[in-house]
């Protein structure tokens, strides 16, 4: 299965080289696409150097920070245009463990979408204070309730997709609403009766760099979920 790993970056100069090397060290014959939103800290330049040294690394430069959803969408479009069979999206801050890629890709052989889940047996979150854990649980539960999602972990962006199933949904439009887009995709796939399964994943809080999510994006995500649910109710 020809697979592309998507790494959406903005100011990840402290993490990108180590992450790329860790992914390639899994010996899964994967390609990596770094999608950099004009990082002022030189992330894009480091990615270019890595690409020059490895035939498995590519870089897509975007002129400015335009949101995680649009970056993932650009990655999907690249995967489709370059005839990949599957793609995996993972955070570029070392929060997602590259050693889990093998299991996710293996499960993708029998499923349309695979979620790296922190909320099934074997999954966990390391390094978050109690307040953040509580906020996360509320956000995850709210998203599941509002969108009618059966999957347990809908807010983790660590997901693997078959390219053929991505072609069944208007992912550009869905992901245009920002970081919450990858959650909306799960709802869209479940409503289409696609096969969505979860595998255990250990999420480790970033130890370098800073989180990029603002309160404006959180509020925007809530509005996007309300609009998404309303549109699907109209269709039904």
What does the DSSP assignment read for 85-138? SEEEEE-TTS-S-GGGHHHHHHHTTS-SEEEEESSSTT-EEES--HHHHHHHHH
| Residue 128: C-alpha distances to residues 6, 96, 203, 232 (Å) | 25, 14, 10, 34
Query: Whole-number mean pLDDT of the chain?
Result: 89
- Residue 232, pLDDT > 70, answer no
- Residue 39, pLDDT > 90, answer yes
Q: In the prediction, which pLDDT does 90 show?
A: 96
Q: In the prediction, which pLDDT does 79 show?
A: 98
Q: Which of 53-62, 146-155, 171-180, 226-235 has the lowest mean pLDDT?
A: 226-235
- What pTM, to 2 d.p., does this model score? 0.88
> The domain that contains 91 carries what CATH number?
3.90.550.10
pLDDT, tens digit, 9 for 90 and up, residues 85-100: 999 999 999 999 999 9
- Residue 20, pLDDT > 60, answer yes
What is the domain extent for residue 30?
3-235
Q: How many independent structural domains does the chain possess?
A: 1
pLDDT category, 234, cuts 50, 70, 90?
very low
- Residue 3, pLDDT > 60, answer yes
Q: Are 68 and 178 in contact (CB under 8 A)?
A: yes
């Amino acid at each position: 299965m020809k697979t592309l790993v998507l790494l959406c970056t903005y100011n990840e100069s402290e993490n990108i080289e180590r992450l790329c090397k860790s992914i390639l060290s899994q010996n899964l014959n994967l390609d990596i696409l770094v999608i950099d939103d004009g990082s002022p800290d030189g992330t894009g330049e480091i990615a270019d150097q890595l690409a020059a040294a490895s035939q498995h690394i590519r870089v897509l430069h975007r002129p400015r920070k335009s949101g995680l959803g649009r970056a993932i969408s650009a990655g999907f479009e690249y995967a489709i245009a370059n005839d990949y069979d599957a793609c995996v999206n993972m955070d570029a801050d070392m929060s997602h463990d590259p050693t889990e890629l093998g299991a996710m890709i293996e499960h993708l052989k029998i499923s349309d979408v695979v979620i790296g889940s922190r909320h099934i047996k074997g999954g966990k979150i390391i390094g978050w204070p109690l307040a953040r854990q509580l906020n996360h649980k509320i956000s995850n539960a709210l998203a599941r309730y509002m969108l009618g999602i059966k999957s347990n972990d809908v807010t983790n962006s660590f997901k693997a997709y078959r390219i053929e199933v991505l072609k069944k949904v208007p992912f550009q439009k869905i992901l245009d609403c920002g970081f919450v887009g990858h959650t909306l995709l799960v709802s869209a796939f479940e409503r289409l009766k696609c096969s969505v399964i979860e595998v255990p994943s250990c999420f480790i809080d970033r130890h370098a760099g800073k989180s990029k999510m603002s309160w404006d994006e959180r509020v925007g995500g809530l509005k996007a979920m309300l609009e998404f649910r309303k549109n699907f109710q109209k269709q039904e």
